[in-house]
Amino acid sequence: MATIGWPDVLLRLGVAALLGGAIGVERELREREAGLRTHLLVALGAALFTVVSAFGFADVLRESDPRVLTRLDPSRIAAQVVSGIGFLGAGAIIRQGLSVRGLTTAASLWIVAAIGMAAGAGMYAPATIATVIVLFSLGPLRILGYRAIERVRPEERRLLVELRPEATAAELLRDVHGAGYRVQSFELDEELDRRVVTLHVDRASSELAAALSDKDYVLGLRWRR
For 60-80, the pLDDT digits (tens) are 666 655 655 556 677 777 778
- Look at residue 46 in the predicted model and tell me its pLDDT: 93
Q: In this predicted model, which residue has the larger pLDDT, 52 or 146?
A: 52
Statement to judge: residues 112 and 12 lie in one domain: yes
Number of domains in the chain: 2
Q: How far apart are CA 104 and CA 171, in angstroms?
A: 36
SS3 content of the chain, % helix, strand, coil (to 5): 60, 15, 25
Tell whether the model's pLDDT for residue 112 goes beyond 90. yes
Which pLDDT band holds residue 119 (cuts at 50, 70, 90)? Answer: very high
pTM above 0.85, yes or no: no
Which pLDDT band holds residue 21 (cuts at 50, 70, 90)? Answer: very high
Which residue, of 110, 125, 148, is where some domain finishes? 148
Collapsing DSSP to helix, strand or coil, 149 comes out as helix
Which residue, of 148, 179, 201, is where some domain finishes? 148
Per-residue pLDDT reduced to its tens digit, 169-202: 888 888 888 888 888 777 777 765 667 888 787 7
Statement to judge: residues 110 and 10 lie in one domain: yes
Q: How far apart are CA 206 and CA 190, in angstroms?
A: 26
Q: How far is CA 207 from CA 81, 176, 217, in A?
A: 45, 11, 18
Statement to judge: residues 133 and 87 lie in one domain: yes
Residue 205 has phi, psi (to 5 degrees) of: -155, 135
Mean pLDDT within 51-57: 82
Statement to judge: residues 10 and 47 lie in one domain: yes
* In a domain? residue 197: yes
* Number of neighbouring beta carbons within 10 Å of residue 51: 23
- Look at residue 128 in the predicted model and tell me its pLDDT: 96
Cβ–Cβ under 8 Å, residues 223 and 208: no
Closest to 5 (Cα-Cα) out of 156, 122, 178, 175? 122
Mean pLDDT within 46-71: 72
The DSSP result for 46-84, as a single string, is HHHHHHHHHHTTHHHHHHS-TTS-----TTHHHHHHHHH
Q: How far is CA 194 from CA 35, 161, 188, 199, in A?
A: 33, 11, 10, 16
* Number of neighbouring beta carbons within 10 Å of residue 221: 23
Tell whether the model's pLDDT for residue 84 goes beyond 50. yes
Statement to judge: residues 37 and 136 lie in one domain: yes
* In a domain? residue 141: yes
The CA R_g of the chain, rounded to the nearest whole Å, is 25
Which pLDDT band holds residue 133 (cuts at 50, 70, 90)? Answer: very high
Closest to 198 (Cα-Cα) out of 208, 209, 183, 186? 186
Mean pLDDT within 190-218: 76
CATH number of the CATH domain containing 175: 3.30.70.260
Statement to judge: residues 170 and 107 lie in one domain: no
Statement to judge: residues 116 and 218 lie in one domain: no
* In a domain? residue 153: no
* Number of neighbouring beta carbons within 10 Å of residue 91: 14
130 lies in which domain range? 6-148
Which pLDDT band holds residue 86 (cuts at 50, 70, 90)? Answer: confident
Which residue, of 118, 148, 178, is where some domain finishes? 148
Average pLDDT of the residues of the chain: 79
Q: In this predicted model, which residue has the larger pLDDT, 115 or 152?
A: 115
Question: CA-based angle 115:120:126, to the nearest 5?
Answer: 45
